[in-house]
Structure 1
Amino acid sequence: YPSISKINFADADPNLAAIIAMMEVSKKIQPSGKRMELWENNYLDSCKSLGISTQVIDHSKSIGEMVAKKILGYAKADRYNTLSNFPRYTPDKKEGYWYPTPPGYFPAVEPYFSKIRNYSLSQSEVSDFEIKPPKAYSSDPRSEFYTLANQVYLSGKKQEEQKIAAFWDCNPFALSSNGHLLIAMKKISPGAHWMGISAIACAKKKLDFGHSLLVRTVLSVSMQDAFWVCWREKYHSNRIRPETAVRKLIDPTWKPFLQTPPFPEYPSGHSTVSSTAAVILTHFIGENFSYVDTVETRYGIEARPFKSFNQAAEEASISRFYGGIHFMDGIASGQSQGKKLGNHILKKLNLL
């Protein structure tokens, strides 16, 4: 981890320094980072209007920039920038293996993601988060796999099931078909959705700045590692998606309610990441913490109430079954993997 000496906050504001550090990092790593420059200038002007002295602002800014430089150096060494050096991923056409799906037929997303550095797993701990293999592909109507495929085929037809699937879609790769045109739809990722939930929870709990920052930092690190262990298994098992399997085995005209994301099925990423997030948020915020999820109302998605983070994670998981893009064993395995990882991270941080 980055080595940062104890900081002298005399004539500086720790909260302001933290905000500046976040903005400086965002400027460098976000695709729209350049837009942060104007936002930062406006923010610092508002600090002056609130009576914060130029000396405090300048000292806080220098501290924030120093911390940001350390974080950016750490991030640059995570090996993500080496992924383009790997051979172009070519889908295997063997029976039961993943293959690109309509309407975009996108190439596989991040097939080498497990090559980058994770946050919480030592080399000897990685195998602890391996999950049992998925049910073997089979065209035999009496097989376990055929039963799983038929379950997906028959699901997602009720209005409430479709409402749940749409609420948790969170597919940044979704496309809208307009004649011969395929138009990209703006949707947030599952990780971003849970970061939004954490903001709602911290505000309702009335946590102070430092505590809110701790919650969201641990959550973001945990979800990154949840994606890491999940993607490692996805490209190990390389399992076929329901859309491909159902069309081949049951009904060639079938379309899932949701668009299929461009990567292998097993396990469900929503299940892994949501289960990890629920463990972390339950630890910090509490069991049976009720809230209203308004994260995607700005995108036209109706707000939805939940009685706990675990209830939300359960619903996020089953939503992929209702949406026709995951088999039930992929959902169950993702849930167990995510819960185990969440507890591992809490122990690693001496929070349990």
Structure 2
Amino acid sequence: MSLGFQQVGISDTDLSAEEPRLQAWLDKQYHGEMEWMVRHGMMRARPHELQPGTLRVISVRMNYLPAKAAFASTLKNPHLGYVSRYALGRDYHKVLRNRLKKLGDMIRERCTTVNYRPFVDSAPVLERPLAVKAGLGWTGKHSLVLNREAGSWFFLGELLIDLPLPTDQPQAEQCGRCVACITTCPTGAIVEPYVVDARRCISYLTIELEGAIPTEFRPLIGNRIYGCDDCQLICPWNRFGQLTDEDDFSPRAVLHAPPLTTLFAWDEPTFLRVTEGSAIRRIGHLRWLRNVAVALGNAPWSQENILALEQRQGQHPMLDEHIEWAIAQQKLKRQANALEVQRPQQKRLVRAIEKGLPRDA
């Protein structure tokens, strides 16, 4: 359609079936430090309370997968930083919200008394259950919305409206017995089908978490410095993922496959300039450095990595903790490399002794 949405669906506002699941998730503390999840409570499942008078929710999806996404080549090169593919371009919140507002304006031109309010992951709304109810797809075992024709590489947005529009029918779930997303998660964050413990999720750890990343998860993060796509990458339905034609979602070259040492050298003005208009800016320079420090610790040993880490010491206590951990990891790898070099020499010495030959043989 002219606004760039790949699919539009309509649902009513009744999410009462989601309330027990949401409460159970909160009771288990799976939301971590995202206290706003608790603060808004069950309003997330009651759109009509968030926007009084709402009768219907128009859910939309917009593809974001860029051409030449370079998933494997970046993830497999531990010297590079991996940014979740959704965050390589312009902040999707702004793009979708502007389009949804235009959709509301178009409807208002034909129905002058209509009231509406657009949302894009910016208010206490259960967007994924609403999208499923509107027929945009089904809930995958990784908790994301899946679509037969598009996989899961798309953003969601909602327009709450006070018109009694006809509603769409939900799709049947089509994950079957597949548990690929559960078994591939680096940190075991998908604790059961459809349930994610955010406290273990790399996206949460690198984006939402404000303090120190728990030590147990640092080695598992690898070179993922902002978000994680693993559960989507392994999903068979993403063979049908559609590329975006939105220029706003085109990757910024400086973020696509950047060397970790380059990223760690950014001062705050550089970080703010490079991430202007990007979703990445919201984590701030300090958390950015925290994430990159962890990735440097996970990278193969090099003197360049050690020097880069040491040059940042003393700037902030939380960052120092991660730098010290990363330096310790680098030193362990240097020792392991030395042992690998010595091992063949030791084997030759043992063989020489066994044969009764001179030790310098």
Alignment TM-score, normalising by the size of structure 1: 0.25
Structure having the higher strand fraction is 2
Considering only CA atoms, is the larger Rg found in Structure 1 or Structure 2?
2
Structure having the higher helix fraction is 1
